[in-house]
Amino acid sequence: MWIRRTFSRLESNESAISRIRCGRIVMRDGALERIEQHGMRSPVSVAQVWWQAKFAALEGDVCCLDYHVPRGMRAFMTLDYVRSGNATGYATAIGAFQVLEEIARLRKAHAIVAHVSNARITDRHLKRAGWERHLLDWPGRHFIRRMQPNVSLSA
């Protein structure tokens, strides 16, 4: 995959990160390692998932999230692929999802959508993390994480 730029700090690069259309979040040992800007999204196949699980497994406490913004749908983000290492901890996985949500907030996205094919990721776990079932009449398990709009209570 062609990497155009990388960012190691979210706070100091908010403007540039909010313009990323295709990217990857890499968390390691509970901390953000980098956010990569990719030139194009790379579709994921079942064969690729099998190959990476068998021959290119990630080592240690690491979690990678691939995401993109579909053309013509700037108000939405898709979570394309989640990879975790053989010792990924809860703090690392949740931290990666929190960074994804922060990027969605910076982009002013209405929602993040995902097609979950891993049976080990349960509906209950996703519900606790703020995701809900979506497109119930489509095949597969589709989820959506709606972003709450910024509400001002000042009069």
Interval 131-155: pLDDT, tens: 888 887 887 788 888 887 654 445 4
Q: What is the pLDDT of residue 151?
A: 46
Beta strands 3-7 and 31-38: pairing type? antiparallel
More confident residue, 19 or 125: 19
What number of other Cβ atoms are within 10 A of residue 120's Cβ?
6
Q: Which residues of 5-44 are buried (b: 16+ CB within 10 A; e: fewer)?
A: eebeeeeebeeebeebbbbbbbbbebebbbbbbbeebbee
- DSSP one-letter code for 93: H
CA-wise closest residue to 97 among 122, 114, 110: 114
